[in-house]
Amino acid sequence: MFKRTMRCNRGLRLLILHMTLALIATTLALPFVWMLFTSLKRLDEVGLESWLPEVFQWHNYADVFAMKGILFGRWYWNAIYVATWVTFLQVFTSSLAAFSFARLKWRGRDTVFLLYLATMMLPGLVMMIPNYQIMINLGLVDTLSGLILPCAFSAFGTFLMRQFMLSIPQSLDEAAEIDGASKWTLFWNVILPLSRPALVTLTIFTFIGNYNSMFWPLVMMKTPARYTLPIGLMAFESSRGQQTNLLMAAVAMSVIPMILLFVFMQKQLVKGIMLGGVKG
């Protein structure tokens, strides 16, 4: 009788927990649902109380590409291009730096790592002026390269990768050295494959962060054809007044890469957060 009561209480607690989580998930999804329905309305329907459009305007998505002065396809490509390159460079440089801080022994290693971490305390806006001045000297203002290079290194990425690499047994290094492996071979063939969960986590965080970046592109870009998507979306509020329905259609299309990235890598993301974020 006691065991049966315990099972019933446990089942009730799980039911309440699942219902609570479902309610929270539904609440969080409401803005996204409103965005989708608004993207399928006529402009004069946007301010109405009803969420559902009278007639679904599927052509709104095609109209986004056909609007005069709106280079949506170009901005879409620029955002993906910049985010992809920044992600590749950050993951590569962070992995190399983390390997040095976690697996190699050299004088002043821990001090340099603490100084490197201290840069995380500086707000991004503080570093924007020095970075902009450097880009002027290099002649990279109003270029996509100027968006990529300053973001190619990440203290957070190095910290995340280092914490994960510290959890890998040191005996693997010793076994690789006995077999005659160089430091590069140890990094590329042993440590890096074992760090896959952390790599995926860093990849997702970096891509989403740079894909949605606005302040740095807003400062750097002068030519409309070189805008990234976050800057380009502001044109919907100025070229023809407030085109809210078309703006929502553009936003709905802009989130597709992030959704696909998360769907295909969510298992590794969760594993990376659990194993990499709490080690060290």
Asked if residue 229 has pLDDT above 50, the reply is yes
CA nearest neighbour of 133 among 120, 151, 146: 146
Asked if residue 260 has pLDDT above 70, the reply is yes
Least confident of 120-129, 158-167, 243-252: 120-129
Cβ neighbours for 138, distance < 8 A, ≥ 6 positions apart? 146
| Rounded CA separation 141/178 (Å) | 50
Average pLDDT (250-260) is 89
- Give Cα separations from 91 to 42, 155, 224 (angstroms): 43, 11, 29
What pLDDT score was predicted for residue 3? 59
Asked if residue 106 has pLDDT above 50, the reply is yes
In the chain, what percentage of residues exceed pLDDT 70? 90
pLDDT tens per residue across span 193-203: 888 888 988 99
What pLDDT score was predicted for residue 1? 56
Question: Collapsing DSSP states into helix, strand and coil, what is residue 91?
Answer: helix
* CA 84-97-85 angle, 5° bins: 10
| Rounded CA separation 69/218 (Å) | 18
In the chain, what percentage of residues exceed pLDDT 90? 24
pTM listed for this prediction? 0.84
- Give Cα separations from 41 to 54, 148, 157, 252 (angstroms): 8, 37, 42, 13
Neighbours of 81 (CB within 10 A): 14
pLDDT tens per residue across span 128-171: 888 899 999 999 999 999 999 988 888 999 998 998 898 888 88
Q: Are 53 and 116 in contact (CB under 8 A)?
A: no
| Rounded CA separation 260/262 (Å) | 5
pLDDT tens per residue across span 86-101: 999 999 999 999 999 9
Q: What are the φ/ψ torsions at residue 142 (nearest 5 degrees)?
A: 65, 35
| Rounded CA separation 232/62 (Å) | 17
Residue-averaged pLDDT of the chain:
85
Average pLDDT (201-219) is 90
